[in-house]
Structure 1
Amino acid sequence: MGKLKTARHRGAAAVLLLPALIGTAGCAAGDRPDAGEAVYGQPLAEQFQAATDATRDAGTAAFLSTLTYGAAGGDAVHRAKGRQDHGKGTSLAELGFSAHRNFPRETLEFLQASAPKGGQAVATAGDDVYVRHGDSAWLKYTPEAVNELGEATGVIAAHAAGDVAPYSGTLADLVPRVIPREKPERRADGSRVYRVTVLPEVAADVLPRDLRNLQGDWGTDPVQLTVRLDAEGRLASAAADLGPVLARLHERGALVDVKRLRAAYELSDFGEPVKGKGPDSSGEPVVDARTTLAPVATLKKGRCATTSDTGLGSAVVVRPVDCAGRHELRVLAQVKVDRTFPGKQEDRSAEGYGRTQCERASVTAPEDWRRGGRYAEGFGFVGASSLELSAGGGVTETTVTGAYTCYLRTP
């Protein structure tokens, strides 16, 4: 899955210094143009693009990206903290999740699905993304691996280096897509603060994949975005109130206990050396996701797999392992659903019928699979379904189809 790259070309000019002028050609400090002139000297509509260029030209920077879910009982936060190198097109970050002890439990479990316990490290190098959970080896997702393993890998592929930054999926990606219309507020330190708006469908790009992919229209209510550029015109921070996005999520039955949704992004330490070694320079083992992982739908009955060290936060793509070792699931069955009903019944779903078949598979599972309470968490299932309406001869029918993997879960 390649990325469109934007090439920037700078012309070169030859300058002849005449001997008689060499001694007087240097400018006094007061005559030097402002450090941010390359950005603030541009027309207002072009300043965000110029700021993106200035940020890249700084070479390296530390970054902190957060997505905060506010509820009556407290906040929960998805966090990515690390460093990036624009010159090399690389980044190295630690991902984590934290929540107040009174944060709503059901919503907490949903948000934790994409945040493995103990956090995980993510590194990018061009189009390749590396993931490591705990002390595991780096797992490398190439574009070829992403294409073969399918849509579930989108949660990882979203962080691959882009045209804006070596670590993607943050508010930084939105800035050059916005055109400021009003002059910014100038602060005493020379920085500028812009207040702009973006469409909710654009702002939704910073959401986790499972939320971003919910079906439906994001509407047209503007999302408020505050952007601060430093004195040199580089992106220093961005913050967005995602209230309009949250309202649409509520309409779809998601995050109903969340009352506030905010995203933030900060950059610092421009030009400082990148600390910490990525997978290509650390000498630590690296394995290819293309040959290590497999869609769970391809595993036969009885096979075991892990999900905690894939970086995907789901059981759609897993790492097959020996059942004698640590694992999170054991495949019970692969089942299919194909049911047709009279009339137009758009509320029908194959999921309920898939669940019933998985319940039967769980009841008839071999006794030794359950011995010792190893699979005390019961069964789970994952898959996809579709609905099709057909009409002919004055008769309308609704057909639901689906394919599901049933599995036993370990505590």
Structure 2
Amino acid sequence: GRKWNIKCFYCLLVKRKICVFFCLGNVVCKTKARADIVLLIDGSWSIGRLNFKTIRSFISRMVGVFDISPDRVQIGLAQYSGDPKTEWHLNAHRTRASLLEAVANLPYKGGNTLTGLALNYILQNNFKENVGMRPNARKIGVLVTDGKSQDDIIANSQNLRDQGIELYAIGVKNADENELRSIASDPEEIHMYNVADFSFLLDIVDDLTDNLCNSVKGPVDLTPSLPFSLIGGGPDAPTDLVTSEVTHYSFRASWTGPEGPVEKYRVEYMTLSGRPQQMFVDGSVTTAVLPNLNPLTEYLVNVYSVIGEESSDPLKGTETTCEVGGDTTDVQLLQLIPNTAYTLSILALHGQSASDPLTEQGVTCTYRTVLFYIQMHVVINVLRSVP
């Protein structure tokens, strides 16, 4: 009945198995995408044991919507205070039941708040292939903290983003909102939450799980699936990625389509530290121009075959756009016509935008023919010939 609605998660420690399985039946993140999620939980003394029970309930609601398996979503957890500690790695729990059991028994650590150290810890210890991270899975980090960090968080959070890890930051009570903004990926309205008290955590969990589910799915067009069965879990990947027509603001990506059926291709492109952008092209097209890029910037390119909501493994490549400007301020114009008026306009370019022109007029010189008369003499001793 209704007594088993959202509030049933408060009874997680009393009637663990009955409560968890009954409540999660109607709340599911429907996707076959693969994602590796690492939760980073503040276990400092400022939280307190009673509030830490609320955090356990919050985590259960957050992770319980996912299909937990080695082929779908994996979730690891590290707890930090003065020194971070891995509670379980990504590959530790292969089912939702096992994961929720671990959440229910999550111990309270206690200590100081060193968030920067903890962010570096999960990069060095949890987002690793030898503990379950899959190269082709989406990588997501979720921080939950209740206070201001006592060390630097900016460089360590940027290091995570530089490795393609999408970061969520959830602050409670005394959390520093500027720190949360520095940690969270863009846009902050999706990736950052800040609530006044632990009791409000369960008020944001539904919105948070919706956003997490979308991050797991990735930027995929949610069109109805085609009526056929996919062998091997998804369409075949494209091959032979080639880039060409490189300018300072764009370049072309071309590839070879697979032998199997393809509805469309999804082309993702991003800088090393930026958020992915995407475009779709029809399955009959195997080339696309990537526009609105930054000059002299390296871009990562991933091309996926797409059928319905199913995507192939990515075809990966890189390209660097051309440099704009430089130190050259002199140029020589060649092959002009003598004694002719010319108008010269100089414009500054950035992307596809141009400045107002600097215009000058000038006339080339008259071409003149100069004749040289040369006299030659043959001299033998002191005798000289007639020229």
**If the length of structure 2 is used for normalisation, what is the TM-score?**
0.29
Q: Which has the higher strand share?
A: 1
**If the length of structure 1 is used for normalisation, what is the TM-score?**
0.28
Larger radius of gyration: 2
Where relative contact order (Cα < 8 A, 6+ residues apart) is larger, the structure is 1
